Homo-oligomer: A and B are copies of this chain.
Amino acid sequence: MSMLVDLNSDVGESFGTWTLGDDGHVLDYVSSANIACGFHAGDPQVMLQTVRLAHDRDVAVGAHPGYPDLAGFGRRAMTCTPDEVYAFCLYQIGALVALCHAEGVSLCHVKAHGALYNQSARNTNIARALAQATRDAAPGLILLGLPGSRHEAAARELGVPFAAEVFADRAYRADGSLVARSRAGSVLHDPEVIAARVIRMVTERTVGTAQGEVVSVHADSVCVHGDNPAALAIVKTVRLALDGAGVHVGPLREVLSL
């Protein structure tokens, strides 16, 4: 069996006069771009420019909807109703679909951002609202998310194609969940260590915990960050390691055989 995995990163997180990340470079290394849709980051011009950057590099485009919270970058939990979540996910995904359509690009996937990602991972009703919006916004969209989460369950229940992601730079616990960011050692920083973990997660389907346990993982996609120079170095190292290990980095549609 030839190895194949998607590499995804959040991009298009600038807003107006403010620049965040180095999208032009990170898009040189990934196969999927999660583009912010204006509610937590990304204004319409930033979105359009990011679609163009992704299209130029043949990177698949996904919508990255978030809570309506620009000042909090969509990271603050908010008690939105499922109806609210459904409507604002449709809204954000649709906005990006039109910007893609203008550039001859077909939207590929949806990945929730920040607090919406976390709340839809744990709350069944929010998860269903997200999965329904993914199903209803445009035909054939894939939901990219956390394996074993409520949003995976909701996607499978609704017949929405689901792609599971692992995190290149995060420590895992024995039950396969992530070590909380507040804990020491929860985020890894050494590019070589991270790249080796990614190779193992993709080729052996396991990851080691800090306590030395071996955990099974399934990765349709590997999430990497590119919002600062150190992060960009990690992306590059991971990509070169995957290439060197003979793992093909390709888009979700290919990974899921859709």
Asked if B78 and A47 sit within 8 Å, CB to CB, the answer is: no
Interface string of A58-86 (1 = CB under 8 A from B): 00000000001111110011111001100
Check: A96 CB closer than 8 A to any chain B CB: yes
> Which of A17, A78, A102: most chain B Cβ within 10 A?
A17
User: Are B87's CB and A99's CB within 8 A?
Assistant: yes
* Residues on the B chain within 8 Å of A17, using CB: 20, 41, 73
The chain B residue with its CB closest to the CB of A80 is B76
Docked complex Cα distance between A94 and B108 (Å): 16
Q: Is the CB of A137 within 8 A of B102?
A: yes
| Total A residues in contact with B, Cβ cutoff 8 Å | 46
Q: How distant is the Cα of A91 from the Cα of B77 in the complex, in angstroms?
A: 22
- Cβ–Cβ contact B16 & A72, under 8 A: yes
Whether a CB of chain B sits under 8 angstroms from the CB of A188 is: no
Select A90's contact among B19, B79, B102, beta carbons within 8 Å: B102
A176 contacts the other chain (CB 8 A): no
Q: Tell yes or no: A149 within 8 A of B by CB.
A: no
Known: A15-B18, A71-B15, A76-B79. A91 touches B138 (CB 8 A): no
Tell yes or no: A22 within 8 A of B by CB: no
Most buried by B among A20, A90, A94, A133: A94
Cβ of A44 < 8 Å from any Cβ of B? yes
A16 touches B101 (CB 8 A): no
Asked if B16 and A71 make an inter-chain contact with CB atoms under 8 angstroms apart, the answer reads yes
Which residues of chain B are near A41, meaning CB under 8 Å? 17
Q: Does any Cβ of B come within 8 Å of A54's Cβ?
A: no
Contacts of A115 in B (CB 8 A): 79
List 22 A-B residue pairs with CB atoms under 8 Å apart, sorted by A's residue number. A14-B18, A15-B15, A15-B18, A15-B70, A16-B71, A16-B73, A17-B41, A38-B91, A43-B71, A47-B91, A72-B78, A72-B84, A76-B78, A76-B80, A77-B77, A79-B115, A90-B98, A90-B102, A94-B97, A95-B95, A98-B137, A102-B137
Q: Which residues of A come within 8 Å of B, CB atoms?
A: 14-20, 38, 41, 43-45, 47-48, 68-73, 76-80, 83-84, 87-88, 90-99, 101-102, 115, 133, 136-138
